[in-house]
Every structure is written in C-alpha cells, then in structure tokens.
Copies of this chain bind each other. A is one copy, B any other.
Amino acid sequence: MKRVSLADVANDLKVSKTLVSLVLNQKGDQHGISKQTQARVLAKAEELNYFPNQMARGLRMGKSGTIGLIVADIANPFYATIARKIEDETNKAGYNLIICSSDEKDEKELRLLKMLRDRQVDGLIVSSTLQRPNALADLKRLGYPIVLIDRAIPRLDVPAVLVDNYQGAFNLTKHLIDLGHKRIGHLSLSPVHISTLRDRLKGYKDALKAAGIKHQSSWILNIPFDDVRGTVEKELPAMIGGKKGVTALFTANNNIAVSALEVIRNMGLNIPHDMAFCSFDDIDLFRLMDPPITACAQPREEIAIESVKLLKDLIKKVGNGEAASADNLVLSTTLRLRPSTLNGNQ
C-alpha cells in the first residue's frame, strides 16, 4: 500500500528527483529542461499514478497551502453561505480551506485556533466569539495572518470585514417608528460583548432617542445563547402582553427571529395586525413566511470576497516582512421592506 513518491518516478526514469520536481512544478522551461525529457517525466508520473505529498511539500516550503476558517455556527445559514463563498475564493487563490464551527463556545474556539495553528495554516479567517482575544493576539504575534469577519474585536490590531450593524439596526427601528409604533421591543443575545449585537442594540436605542421616545428596559430581552427557544417562550409573552406591551418587535438575528415568530404564532397573534415584526439577518424563511418578514440583509458574498482579498494581501505582506495596516472594511446593509411591518398599527 506504499504510495508512489517522487523518487519512484525518478528511479524509473534514471534521472534525478530535482528534474522530476522541476518538471512537475512547471519550472522545466525556466530551467531549460528539454521538451523531450519533460514529456517523459510527465508520462511516467501519469503512468505510475504519482501525486505529490502535500505534507512533505509543506514541511519543506514552510507553508501548508491551507487557510483556516472559524465561524460561530456553520448550521446558521448566514455563516454557511459565507463559508461556501470563502471556500470558492480561497480555492481560486490556490488554497484549501478548513472550515470549523466554534458553536459560540469560547473554549471550542480556543481549541480550534490551536489545532489550526498546529496545522500550520497559512492564514486565518475568524468570526470570533472570544471574550479575551489573547489567543488571537498570540497567533498574530507569531506571524499568522488573521482576518476577522462579522465581529470586531476591540484592541486587536488585525483587519476586519464588518457590516454596519449600527446603521442597519437604526434604520430598521426608525422604519417601525415611522409606521407609528411607540413601544418597540428588541430581542438580543445575552453575552452582549459580541460587537454585532452591541451595535445593533445601540442602533435601536439611538433611533428611539432620535424620535424622542424614552426607552424602557422592559422592552429589551437578552437571551442566553444556549437556550434561545426556552427563554423566548418564557419571557416574550410578558413583553408583548398588557396595555403597556410592545406593538412592534425587532430581533437581533435570524435565530432569535425564528423562535420569536413561533411563540407569537402560538400566542394566536397576527402579524402585522397585532404586532409588527422585523429582524436583522435576512434569510429565505423571511421572504417565504406569511406574511413575509421585513429584514435587514447583510452582504454575505461581499464579506466572503473581501475577507479573502484582505487575507491574501496580508499573507503577502507578512511573507515580505512588511508592516501590515489593519484597515477595517465596513459594508452596508440593505433594508428589505415586507408586509410584516407594512400595515403596522399601534
């Protein structure tokens, strides 16, 4: 079961490994190796069914030809779409991609970071859930090119491709206000250290403030990551019910929205008649629901494309020993108005 190596091809042909290596790496011409010999090498490699061992190659060249991607949750369509596109882009650039999912767990993210490091990935794209970015800072110091996506990490001097969460949330909230809503609820996740959620919360609050609405703490629900469904079931009815209940709801991501929509339906409420509803993070579901749900869409493909572009630049710079500036890229969102907010009443 021994696999064919360069040496096998060389021996068969009674030439040197160098020669074979050169030819197989298209450096034949450049080194003035005769067309004839080149053809012989190619033919023999084909015949023996030779293919290069990337681990040996990587060891020798000091790089693996691999990029690591860590997303917060690969089962979330938002990240899945981005991952798919990033794979395309890295492939185009000649890299392979190792896709990992931290499942929003600090500890798992750390483990993944270590394993990617041990595998000598040539670069890293991370949507980080880490509270203390030490692990990332260490990797950066070790010379690993890192690009952040989706979530910013303060004080960590690496380039990032982000989305204007503040503006998106502001617009969404303002839209509800313009429809006449005065009591607007916001459902978010509880470890609000994550930049995206914080920014969305701020956009929401500022939009209220700008409209002269005094914000009530009972309008905000912070849901623990690991029990979205249960918490929404338990807490949402109180937020909605009563004379002072909210008349419109804005959820911070597609996950929360799904649970909230289910609870609202089970309460027998009608959207948009009894309650206006909108969410950050446009997904298929929103377009197809009855009524279709207003949402703030993120440019997922662009995030993927730009992050790979940044990473490629970074790899080149680090390779040349150049200083790398950490230029953040902030992409804007698109408000998709749909019936779930169109006939709001208050």
Chain A: residues with CB nearer than 8 A to chain B?
1, 3, 49, 51-56, 58-59, 64, 66, 73-75, 77, 80-81, 83-84, 87, 91, 96-101, 103, 111, 114-115, 117-120, 138, 142-143, 258, 261-262, 265, 284-285, 287-290, 321
Contact = CB atoms under 8 A, between A and B. Distances in A.
A265 B3 CA distance: 57
B1 A143 contact: yes
Given A83-B99, A97-B98, A265-B290, 10 more contacts: A1-B143, A51-B114, A53-B120, A74-B99, A80-B80, A84-B101, A98-B99, A261-B288, A289-B290, A290-B290
Nearest 6 interchain pairs by C-beta: A290-B290, A99-B99, A80-B80, A1-B143, A55-B58, A55-B59
Contacts of A100: 87, 97
A118 B51 contact: yes
Contacts of A114: 51
Contacts of A51: 114, 117-118
The residue among A49, A80, A81, A265 with the most chain B CB atoms within 10 A of its own CB is: A80
Contact of A77 (B77, B91, B96): B77
Contacts of A119: 54-55, 66, 96
Contacts of A143: 1
B87 A101 contact: yes
Contacts of A66: 119
A321 B52 CA distance: 24
Contacts of A53: 59, 118, 120
A288 B254 CA distance: 13
A13 to B, nearest CB: 21
A154 to B, nearest CB: 24
A118 B75 contact: no
A80 B76 CA distance: 8
Nearest to A61: B55
Contacts of A262: 287-288
A254 to B, nearest CB: 10
